[in-house]
Amino acid sequence: MDGATRPWVLHVDLDQFIAAVEVLRRPELAGLPVIVGGRGDPTERAVVSTASYEARAFGVGSGMPLRVAARKVPDAVLLPVDAPAYTAASEQVMAVLRAHEGAVVEVLGWDEAFVGVTTDDPEGVARALQAAVLVATRLHCSVGIGDTKVRAKIATEFGKPRGVFRLTAGNWFEVMAERPTRALWGVGAKVSSRLAKHGITTVRELADADVDLLVAEFGPRIGTWYADLGHGRGSATVDPTPWVPRGHSREHTYQQDLTAPEEIEAALRTLVTEVLADVVAEGRPVVRLTLKVRYKPFFTKTFSRTLKAPTTDADLLERESLALVVRREEGRAVRLLGLRFEMTMPGPDGT
């Protein structure tokens, strides 16, 4: 169907977005290894939010402890996270995408979105979007073109940086067959390890796998989804409906480990106040709580409970949160606490 007018899914992904925003604000940083994370202080406990390509060349990646990143690149420029600046830049980019005639935009995050278009020249549209984003924001992006969201999302990786790549049913196995399962969107280290136990290490092997085996390993819904993923199958519908958060969460990494029960409880009360403020602004009550506890050195456990009735009562939510924290391992130092409140979801009419 090449050359025919038909629907396409484009995945627009901003290149090294956070680092690029920082370089726009500080042009003198262009070409230097830039690492953004925490408060920009490697002596504090924090992780890398993003790194410029120059820093990535030294093995720095998102989620890496900031102190480790600083050791890998001693002359790196370390900067604190500035979420408002990235939000503002992201909103500019999404406005440009929405302005393209006939485009339907589904925002995935600060730095990426699916764009649905009907055209006989998807590469031409991709290049036009890249040019429009660059003119309006001075930010570069890569674009993956696909006949499903899965293929478009994966295609972007082959286009980076600043490029365009098309991945469809026609060239899926030519491009993907011998690649490891981790090259697939949604397959991480744990899932790839579980697949490997069944002799499934490549995309082709996943595509050829017995669906019953995958269902037995992952359950009927996820197992069937992984079977489709091996073929790059999936939805091609781009949904412009604004994303509605299911919940709000906050977490703090403490510079000094928390050991005494009273300091752990005090820290949790602070989290309750912070998360509840986000929930109240949302206007929907809480139905479920999840507490994350990260012990020293780096072992994490989560504890959850569903409330008897939806609420925004601060005292009740504090009591319920404290009831969760007593389930932690006593006597073990805590380096991080995270708290998530899940809310009721709006109905079809938005209420």
The pLDDT value given to residue 75: 94
The pLDDT value given to residue 242: 82
Do 101 and 153 share a structural domain? yes
The pLDDT value given to residue 1: 46
Do 217 and 148 share a structural domain? no
The pLDDT value given to residue 331: 87
In a domain, 348, yes or no: no
Do 197 and 77 share a structural domain? no
CATH of residue 119: 3.30.70.270
In a domain, 351, yes or no: no
Do 275 and 135 share a structural domain? no
The pLDDT value given to residue 350: 55
Q: Residue 334 forms beta bridges with which residues?
A: 258, 295
* pTM (two decimals): 0.81
Spatial CA neighbour of 230 closest among 154, 146, 145: 154
Task: Determine the structural domain holding residue 286 and report its residue range.
Answer: 247-343
The pLDDT value given to residue 267: 96
User: Could you give the residue numbers annotated as active site?
Assistant: 112
- Going from the first residue of the chain to its last (351 residues), give the mean pLDDT of each consecutive group of 10, the final group possibly shorter: 84 95 95 94 91 96 93 96 94 97 94 97 98 97 98 97 97 97 94 96 97 96 96 96 88 92 96 95 94 90 96 96 94 94 79 57
In a domain, 234, yes or no: no
The pLDDT value given to residue 291: 97
Only one residue has tokens 């009721």, namely 344
* Residue after which a domain boundary falls, among 123, 142, 168: 168
In a domain, 262, yes or no: yes
The pLDDT value given to residue 243: 77
- SS3 for the chain is CCCCCEEEEEEEEECCHHHHHHHHHCHHHCCCCEEECCCCCCCCCCECCEECHHHHCCCCCCCCEHHHHHHHCCCCEEECCCHHHHHHHHHHHHHHHHHCCCCEEEEEECCEEEEEEEECCHHHHHHHHHHHHHHHHCCCEEEEEECCHHHHHHHHHHHCCCCEEEECCCCHHHHHCCCEHHHCCCCCHHHHHHHHCCCCCEHHHHHHCCHHHHHHHHCHHHHHHHHHHCCCCCCCCCCCCCCCCCEEEEEEEEEEEECCHHHHHHHHHHHHHHHHHHHHHHCCCEEEEEEEEEECCCEEEEEEEEEEEEECCHHHHHHHHHHHHCCCCCCCCEEEEEEEEEECCCCCCCC
- Distance of alpha carbon 229 from the chain centroid: 19
The pLDDT value given to residue 323: 96
In a domain, 144, yes or no: yes
The pLDDT value given to residue 351: 57
Phi, psi torsion values for 150, nearest 5 degrees: -60, -50
